[in-house]
Each structure stands twice: as C-alpha cells, then as structure tokens.
Amino acid sequence: MKSIMVVALVVGSLFLCSTATFAQAGGGGGGRGGAGGRGGRGAMNSTNMIARFQTALGDANKLTDEEIAKITPVLDDMIKKLADLQADTTTAAADKAAKRTEIRTAASDSIKAIVTPAQFTIIQPLLQGGRGGRGGRGGGAPATPPATPPATPPPGA
C-alpha cells in the first residue's frame, strides 16, 4: 500500500512540474513568441499593433482605411529598428533604452500627424511601451503605495 502511495506521489509531482514547464514554454502563445513578440499576443508586427489600436479605440474612434495605410509603414519601420537594436550586441543596455525611446518617439510623432487628437490620446500609450499602460516585463509605472494611516498615540498617553 505504501509503495502505491509513493508512486502516486511521484507521478503527481512529475505531472505538476511538467505542467508548469509547458506554461512557461515559448511556443503556443505563452512566453515570448517569434522575433520581438510578446507573450500571449503573438509576434510584434504592424497588423497586430493596428488590431490593438482598433480594439483600444472602440467603435466610435476606429482608424479609417486611409489612416491604416499611412500608419502601417511607420509601424513597420519602428518594428524593424527595434528588432535591429535588440539584435545589436555592441550597444550598452542603457544606450539601447535611450535609443528605444527615440525610435518610439519618432514613430509616435509621425502617427500623431496622421490621426485625430482623440485617437492619438488612446494610441500613444500603446506605442510608447507596447503594453497599453498595463505594465509588464519590467515596465510601466510603479504601483501607488497605499496611504499610511496617521499614527495614533498609544492608549493612556
């Protein structure tokens, strides 16, 4: 009876470990997918970015076909420059961060000239961090610390 329990425990442990490993694997939509991709969203490309913009903009602010035709080459150029920068092994990490910001700012400025101010207000956070303000891998604004209640004097003081 004891040996059956031990075998069951070992098999169960192996199953749990393999499930955690598969959940972190790069294929099948989890982890980082493709060149420059983000976990769960597929590879970063202009088509995926436009779809994210359209979702964020909602029905009232959708991009027109003309706007999409103008934005697509800007996004393709930004994505290529970011991929080239990531592949560059000669540039220091701090310099890469500054260059990433420059690349995104240039794309943002180009897109700002194409879309309406209302559309740009929604699109800009998606361009700057690629995360839509949700934070993510080491990015986004830090969480606001909870307010600390005022110190109360001890009873009887």
Domain-located, residue 65:
yes
Domain-located, residue 140:
no
Domain-located, residue 78:
yes
Domain-located, residue 5:
no
Domain-located, residue 91:
yes
> DSSP state, 38?
B
Domain-located, residue 73:
yes
Domain that holds residue 106: 33-129
As given in the structure block, the two tokens for residue 48 are 């995926």
Q: How far apart are the first and last CA of the chain?
A: 64
Position of tokens 């003081």? 157
Domain count, the chain: 1
Q: Closest Cα partner for 74 from 87, 63, 86?
A: 63
What tens digit of pLDDT does each residue of 5-58 get? 556 555 555 555 554 444 444 444 444 444 444 444 456 888 999 999 999 999
What tens digit of pLDDT does each residue of 63-95 get? 999 999 999 999 999 999 999 999 999 999 999
